[in-house]
Structure 1
Amino acid sequence: MTSMQILDAGAAGAMADAVADVAGSSAVHAAQAGLHSLSGHTVTHGDVRIAVATCGSGPAIVLLPSLGRDVEDFFPIAPLLAARGYRVVMPSPRGMGDSTGPLTGITLHDFANDIAAVIAHEGSRPALVAGHAFGNWVARNTAIDHPDRVAGVAVLAAAHKDFPRELRAHIDGAMDVSLARDLRLAHLRAAFFSAGGDPSPWLDGWYPDVARAQRAASAATPVAGWWTAGSVPVLDVQAANDPFAPASGAHLLREELGGDRVTVRVVGPAGHALLPDQPAAVAEALADFADRILPKNP
């Protein structure tokens, strides 16, 4: 079934109400309260060790962070998803936190193997794998390489194939801690945040060395081999003000992969960072999609 819906901040209010009993009526307060229920474990396969943060119970939604960033970006939405009846699984990429593993001579398929091992640790049921920006490339590879582990893929603020390459300079500037604070904020505004958004929280949380390894792995992995995400259902959560994916191309992924596979949700106002701008709207889109594809009583 094909669908396309635009969510603004007000439209996500129902999601905040769903967790009002956790900590008042604010989704932010609810998210903060929900963090107290986070737990962690590690998953090892071969010479790779992946640290995993989790909360909630039910079918698994696996959240993969953006280039050079760790799973803390998902903490505002994790308890909201848990409140909808899902187990939220957040694996830290190799080289971040307590996750370790080779970062040279690898491809996106290696990152996908890490995620498949994490899903296998959760049990026999396939998961919804959601990737933010760079993370969606890993999510799609996981669906291709391990179709038995993936029930669906959600791409969050996914860049178009032909996104303006000059935006990479803004990514590099945003994560360069040697630059002046004001200059880094300017880079963040140019690449990641919509007008009125607060980029200051994203001054922290960067792993430049890992970002370089992730870029190298991407360059070593032909796009044609993973772009389709196999044959699973796909949720395309678009940020309404994303320079990596202008609104003029909102139809592209659905047309390319097929209207029977792709559901589009446009969230705004929001830039490429998406999660800090609209946590409740993103959580609502993911939970609604998961309700369709993840049986809670198999």
Structure 2
Amino acid sequence: MEQTVELIEDAARGVRLEVLVAGEGPDVVLVPSAMRGASDFAHLQQALAAAGYRSLAVNPRNAGRSAGPLDGLTLQDIADDISLVVGRLCDGPVHLVGHALGNVCVRAAASFRPEIARSVTVMPCGGHDLAVRPVAPEVIAAMPRCHDESLSDAERIEAMRTAFFAPGNDPSVWLDGWWPQSAGVAGAIGRTDPALWWRGGEGPILIVMPLNDAMMAAEAGRATAEALGERASYVEVDNCGHAILPEQPEAVARHVIAFLDRQEGR
């Protein structure tokens, strides 16, 4: 897969974003999980390119060569970051795809900047309902251990198994690729009223729910799909947890491309 790297800046806001671009065709912007980076989308970008799409995987602030202030960050700020990518590198509205924390980011972008969104895909769907469905304490405790390089690989793998991976799957694929310096991006959730963004705009939305997710139960996705009505497409994927991208890459690509093809009338 041929890939180019774009660096774009908004000097007024002190933001620089690194974007990995692949393929040709309708634009698909990809936003990764908390403290993870654009490289997590490598398999999906290859599949999208083969299916006739141009994908742009974004490194969030302080991941990769991206940079920007994190103090006081809100989801409106993140929506502006995604809009910056679309405005500088794309021609018109795009399909937005978010993994894990990225699911919140792309829904916020479609809500605060609806002019940039043709469709939204989230895998999984959650984060807007933490008051009702809080993350279990043992999962919260495991999360910082996943990227703590002072721990042994075995200890980190066990933490990733607790927080991110379904039983029987191999967490070692995520030993690399962490950007803990970008951890503050997740703080934007607590500074933004979920009522302003949880609907993900008003366009078509695909919800892909892992059935073994320790952070976001499938019931959260089902409830959201029901609340959004006919604009929502809903699928479930077995044998994966919050780390659905490396756990079930073929299923993810199949569902995402089928949804995008419907939006494109293919």
The structure 2 residue matched to 1:58, chosen from 25, 35, 56, is 25
Tell me which residue corresponds to 1:44: 9
CA RMSD of aligned residues (A): 1.6
- Give how far 1:178 is off: 2.0
Question: What TM-score results when the alignment is normalised by the length of structure 2?
Answer: 0.92
- CA–CA distance in structure 2, aligned partners of residues 189 and 203 of structure 1: 11
**Does structure 1 conserve the Cα–Cα contact (< 8 Å) formed by 2:95 and 2:120?**
yes
- Give how far 1:55 is off: 0.5
Q: Which has the higher contact order (CA 8 A, sep 6+)?
A: 1
CA deviation profile, 1:56-105 (whole Å, cap 9, x unmatched):
01111111000111011111111101111100111111111111111212
Q: Residue type matched to 1:146 in 2?
A: R
**Does structure 2 conserve the Cα–Cα contact (< 8 Å) formed by 1:128 and 1:294?**
no
**Does structure 2 conserve the Cα–Cα contact (< 8 Å) formed by 1:147 and 1:230?**
yes
- CA–CA distance in structure 2, aligned partners of residues 172 and 125 of structure 1: 38
The structure 2 residue matched to 1:135, chosen from 102, 105, 109, is 102
Change (3 A) 1:247 1:51: closer
Aligned: 1:80 with 2:47: yes
Count residues in correspondence: 259
Alignment of 1:210-249 (within 5 A): 210-211=182-183, 213-249=184-220
**Which deviates the most, 39-48 or 190-199?**
39-48
Q: Residue type matched to 1:280 in 2?
A: E
Tell me which residue corresponds to 1:276: 246
User: 3-state DSSP class of the match of 2:154?
Assistant: helix
- CA–CA distance in structure 2, aligned partners of residues 228 and 250 of structure 1: 12
CA deviation profile, 1:142-170 (whole Å, cap 9, x unmatched):
00111111011111123362143412212
Unaligned runs of 5+ in 1: 1-33
- Give how far 1:125 is off: 2.2
**Which deviates the most, 109-118 or 168-177?**
168-177
User: 3-state DSSP class of the match of 2:144?
Assistant: helix
- Give how far 1:287 is off: 0.9
Change (3 A) 1:198 1:221: same
Tell me which residue corresponds to 1:182: 154
Tell me which residue corresponds to 2:261: 291
- CA–CA distance in structure 1, aligned partners of residues 51 and 134 of structure 2: 34
- CA–CA distance in structure 1, aligned partners of residues 48 and 228 of structure 2: 27
**Does structure 2 conserve the Cα–Cα contact (< 8 Å) formed by 1:59 and 1:295?**
no
Q: Residue type matched to 2:67 in 1?
A: T
Q: Residue type matched to 1:252 in 2?
A: A
- Give how far 1:247 is off: 3.6
User: 3-state DSSP class of the match of 2:212?
Assistant: coil
**Does structure 2 conserve the Cα–Cα contact (< 8 Å) formed by 1:59 and 1:125?**
no
Tell me which residue corresponds to 1:208: 180
- Give how far 1:216 is off: 2.1
Unaligned runs of 5+ in 2: none
**Does structure 1 conserve the Cα–Cα contact (< 8 Å) formed by 2:121 and 2:205?**
yes
CA deviation profile, 1:187-230 (whole Å, cap 9, x unmatched):
1111111122110121221122311x123222111112111112
